[in-house]
A = this chain, B = another copy of it.
Amino acid sequence: MTDTRRGRPRTPLLSRETIVAATLQVIGDEGVAAVGMRSVARLLGVDAKSLYNHVDGKDGLLDAVAEQLLGGLVLPAPTGDARHDLHAIAHAFRDRALAHPGAAPLVLTRQLSSLEGLAPVDAVLTVLLAAGADAEEAVHLLRMLLATLIGTLLREVSAAPTFGGDDGERLEALQGAGLTAIATAAPHLAEFDRAAEFEYTVDLAITAVLARIDLRTAR
């Protein structure tokens, strides 16, 4: 039922949500580089300048996407087991970042000063404090975990396996360049199981964090 009483207050064609949705579609179809006021507006059947009524320029548009993505994060209920809870938070974060792979760099890279970005930070801090860290150490450990998380996800989303297969030519070139360790490890460098790699890295980081807390706690 279109709103036509008195002819004046028509129902708006656009909203922040529809604009973000259209942006995600552009990202999914043509990549993040294809995002522009014009391309997004075209998808909505609207003029580019209309977007300015809902979003603060192109930069604000990208922020809105990152915010909304992160806002959809559902934090797992804490169980009291610190290791398990940190794992669960990390995976929840990963799920959100990979929900729209092309948009992941936005989520991982943009400053998330909004409340959306604070929820997971609070969740991690809560677990660390409960595990026995004092406030100061908890902050350092949080930053370490975040760095590792963001670093792995950035790689996962943007990096190919890094090294082509085991063709002998490449290997010899590596040897010749003095990169013997790379040549030795080449078959493993060519392999990259995203989920397994994430698990390995995050588990190692969490182990380190918990070990440090126990060290401190044991005085």
A interface residues with partner B (beta carbon < 8 Å): 109, 111, 113, 115, 118-119, 121-123, 125-126, 129, 135-136, 138-141, 143-144, 146-152, 154-155, 158-160, 162, 174, 177-182, 184-185, 187-189, 197, 200-201, 204-205, 207-209, 211-212
Nearest chain B CB to A5 CB, angstrom units:
39
Is there an interface contact between B115 and A204, defined as CB atoms closer than 8 Å? no
Q: How far is the CA of A211 from the CA of B190 in the complex (A)?
A: 25
Q: How far is the CA of A2 from the CA of B177 in the complex (A)?
A: 37
Copies of this chain per assembly: 2
Is there an interface contact between B148 and A144, defined as CB atoms closer than 8 Å? yes
Q: How far is the CA of A155 from the CA of B189 in the complex (A)?
A: 26
Picked from B109, B115, B140, the residue with its CB within 8 Å of the CB of A197 is B140
Known: A129-B184, A144-B201. A118 touches B179 (CB 8 A): yes
Q: How far is the CA of A100 from the CA of B10 in the complex (A)?
A: 52
